[in-house]
Structure 1
């Protein structure tokens, strides 16, 4: 890797460490038992929808990959 690629990777890793979902205030509230039942229900709905879209997102991405070895 070149220095600029190394710097880019280091910056991405730094951002991930600073902003990963476990740092979010809602995550702390949810995992400390501080959410109301309605907040937990809303989180479940959001999480289910998000997870259900991942295969479609991946398929859309992979359909655009022209290199068979990468696919």
Structure 2
């Protein structure tokens, strides 16, 4: 199944238990409709692992880890 990159990004964020809200900024109704598919998108363990490897996040202890 094909999923748009924005759908995958939102689904990945929603999968992370520390993310309290995923904010999307659609400019058109079609983009909003597309974004609404993200919560139903199931990402495989392999995909989630690969995304976490590509974008590991800041890591370390707060607040220093978040003061880039």
Common topology (TM > 0.5): no
* Structure with more relative contact order (C-alpha pairs < 8 Å, separation 6 or more): 2
- Structure 2-normalised TM-score? 0.30
Bigger Cα Rg? 1
- Structure 1-normalised TM-score? 0.29
